[in-house]
Amino acid sequence: MPGPSMSDCAAIDPLVTPYVDDQLPEDARAQIERHMRACPPCRARVTAERAVHDLIRARRGALSAPCAPAALHSRCLQHAERAANAVDQPARPSVIAFPDVASRAAQAQPPVPVSWRRRLAPLALAATLVLVVGAAFLYQLTVSSTHVMAAELAIDHMKCFALNGALHTHDEASAVESSLLTGFGWKVRLPAGARQEGLELVGSRPCLYGEGKIAHIMYRRSGEPISIYMLPDTARTQEVVQVLGHRAAIWCDGKRTFVVLARQPQREVERIASWVQASMK
Amino acid sequence: MARSQGLLQGSPAFEAEALASLESLYRTALRLTRVPADAEDLVQETYLKAFRAADSFKPGTNLRAWLFTILHNTARNRIRDRARDMVSVDSDAVERLTEAPPPGRATETPESLLLRDTLAPDLQAAIDALPEAFRQAVWLRDVEEFSYAEIADMLSIPIGTVMSRISRGRHLLFEQLNHARSLNV
């Protein structure tokens, strides 16, 4: 037989792991399988390695459960924003210090310069966001900073629309209303006048944020993504914040906090928020 | 593996995608340091370096792998700087101590039922108990799902060494879990 002697168990050694990982070309795979049929010890060795491989994959969800402290999320987000500000304001010294306590980390940040939006090529963003979907990402509780919350929602907004772009899902209003009722006990009738506002309903998602779920309704207007979030059992003061190239209009209604988030001028986001407030009581 | 095509360094999308890896970076940092506070510092330093050096990221390559490479380089530098035993990768010694399992030994049966019944906390404990070199390799491959080549870049070792460490790590885990089972039976 040509090639390395597979009768020698030592020859099979370097092939075991790529075989278990399904990384071998077909001919090498056939060789190792031939050898295993004739060699019970090597077969057992492969079986053992595969069992561990399969076990870790099966438990991967639990092993990779989010565990990073909320303060770490906040601090790293700050680093991102400071880096962005440094890029936008090159004359400014780029001194970056580690905040050593969570409270400092969660302090409100200076507004992100609007010039980000000009620098961002829309097509590049679209291509990138699809990749964001694949990343394991769960939001952590950030109670002390509305700005941090808005930033995380902005990331979620980008991620969810990227997912929608990849899956091309499109929900009817009745389906969205039903999922909001069953998922959040939120009896809501979506505004009938959405089309007149130029809003096209994309769908809804139960997104993860903090330790619970938040309702996320997605619209598009002229192709531009617009998100409406409802955070149950959360209270925030009314304000509009600018973060990560987006604006978030935030208000509270009873025990629910609402956020309208979009890459639109502030006036436009506030107008949409007013429309949502009037329509979705 | 995902390629971050068209990603503009320093753009919001770049930063959003980078931050989306925070949880996996932190988990990996925890495997490296075993100390939460050190893991947090390591992740912060990784992001600081990444954002400052965003221009050196090559669009079209894997941003997540780039971040993991920074993480591991930072961890190695910290060892040099502090002479601390955080990532004590005396891998040659470890690998000498842990020869390839003799064919057939302890593997006459696949024990797949045992392994399927192993709960995640027990598995996590077993992984954490692995010698550093094997723990990193198994974690990066089986949990974080990087390619051999990406892991080789991160750890600055040849691909063949990556594969042998994964193999040894898996076999050690198999034996460890079997041993734990025999104690419990």
Using one digit for the tens of pLDDT, what is the confidence trace for A195-210? 777 788 888 877 766 5
Higher pLDDT: A69 or B157? It is B157
Residue A41 class from Cβ within 10 Å (0-12 exposed, 13-18 middle, 19+ buried)? middle
Q: Is residue A141 scored above 80 in pLDDT?
A: no
Q: Are residues A18 and B19, on separate chains, in Cβ contact within 8 Å?
A: no
Is the pTM above the cut of 0.90? Answer: no
Instruction: Give the integer Cα–Cα distance in Å for B108 and B173.
Output: 16
- Compute, in degrees rounded to 10, the torsion defined by CA atoms B69, B72, B73, B75: 160
DSSP H helices, B1-147, are: 12-19, 22-33, 36-52, 63-82, 91-97, 112-117, 120-128, 132-138
Higher pLDDT: B80 or B53? It is B53
| Average pLDDT score over residue span A225-244 | 84
From chain B residues 26-85, the ones with a CB under 8 A of any chain A CB are 26-27, 30, 36, 40-41, 43-44, 47-48, 51-52, 54, 63-64
Nearest neighbour of B104 by CB, restricted to A41, A127, A158: A41
Q: Residue A191: how many CB atoms within 10 A of its CB?
A: 18
DSSP H helices, A89-145, are: 102-105, 115-119, 122-133
| Average pLDDT score over residue span A5-20 | 82
Q: Is residue A128 scored above 60 in pLDDT?
A: no
| Average pLDDT score over residue span A34-58 | 90
Instruction: Give the integer Cα–Cα distance in Å for A197 and A189.
Output: 16
Shortest CA gap A17–chain B (Å): 6
Share of chain A above pLDDT 90, in %: 14
* Host H or E run for residue A225: strand A224-232
Query: What are φ and ψ of residue B44, in 5° steps?
Result: -60, -45
For position A16, what pLDDT does the model report? 93
Instruction: Give the integer Cα–Cα distance in Å for B12 and A117.
Output: 9
Query: What are φ and ψ of residue A247, in 5° steps?
Result: -120, 140
Tens-digit pLDDT profile for residues B59-114: 888 999 999 999 999 998 887 776 544 444 445 555 554 444 444 444 445 555 66
Given a contact cutoff of 8 angstroms between Cβ atoms, the answer to whether A85 and A113 are in contact is yes
Q: Is residue A271 scored above 50 in pLDDT?
A: yes
Tens-digit pLDDT profile for residues B17-50: 888 899 899 999 999 888 899 999 999 999 999 9
Pick the closest to residue A69 from A158, A146, A154, A143 (CA basis). A143
ipTM given for this complex: 0.79
| Average pLDDT score over residue span A215-219 | 87
Both tokens of B65, joined, read 């792998």
| Average pLDDT score over residue span A215-225 | 85
Nearest neighbour of B40 by CB, restricted to A69, A87, A135: A69
Angle between helices B159-184 and B120-128 (to 10 degrees): 130
**Residues forming a β-bridge with A201:** A219
